[in-house]
Amino acid sequence: MVGLLYAAPYAGALAASLVSGWATRMRRQGLGVIVAAGLWGVAITLFGLVDVLWLALALLALAGAADFVSAVLRSAIALTATPDSMRGRISGIELAQVASAPTLGNVEAGVLASLTSVRFSIVSGGVACVVGTAAIALALPQLLRYDSRRARG
């Protein structure tokens, strides 16, 4: 069962990648990042609340698909909006963030779960993601307005 729980987000990401052609035509990529990140948080919150395995797996797959969409759109924005002279550095920073953030989140979730409960850790992490995503959307309205067609000239 644990193997299924670990695999479900990757199955969702794979499914999203198989139908990702639409991303090349998406104009409002910043809005897409915000929606996908918020959807990840909602899926994780609901995952923490359910007791039915098939529903938990479906929610983890949805979270994985949302994470994939967010990653694709973030990378597209970074590569388009970054001047050529800075692209390598920005890509390196993005790689460091992608490699380290989940591990730091897992440490935080483990510590919180040991102090409270696993369910509280999962649900509060999902809620924190939704709240954080909303805060970023409010603090960075230019992200919401980002238009990939205007960025390319």
pLDDT one-digit tens code per residue, 99-114: 899 899 999 999 999 9
Alpha helices in the chain, H assignment, sequence order: 2-18, 29-49, 53-81, 87-115, 118-139, 141-145, 148-151
pLDDT(153) > 60: no
Whether the model clears a pTM of 0.85, i.e. scores above it, the answer is yes
Between CA 145 and CA 153, with CA 148 as vertex, the angle to 5 degrees is 110
C-alpha distances in Å from residue 30, one per residue of 6, 33, 50, 117, 144: 29, 5, 31, 34, 5
- Packing angle between helix 29-49 and helix 53-81, nearest 10 degrees? 160
Q: Please, what's the b/e burial string for 94-132 (b: 16 or more CB within 10 A of its CB; e: otherwise)?
A: beeeeeeeeeeeeeeeeebbeeeeeeebbbbbbeebbee
What would the pLDDT profile of 8-48 be if each residue is shown by its tens digit?
Answer: 999 999 999 999 888 878 889 999 999 999 999 999 999 99
Which tokens go with 20? 């990702």
What one-character DSSP code corresponds to residue 116?
S
In this predicted structure, what is the pLDDT of residue 45? 98
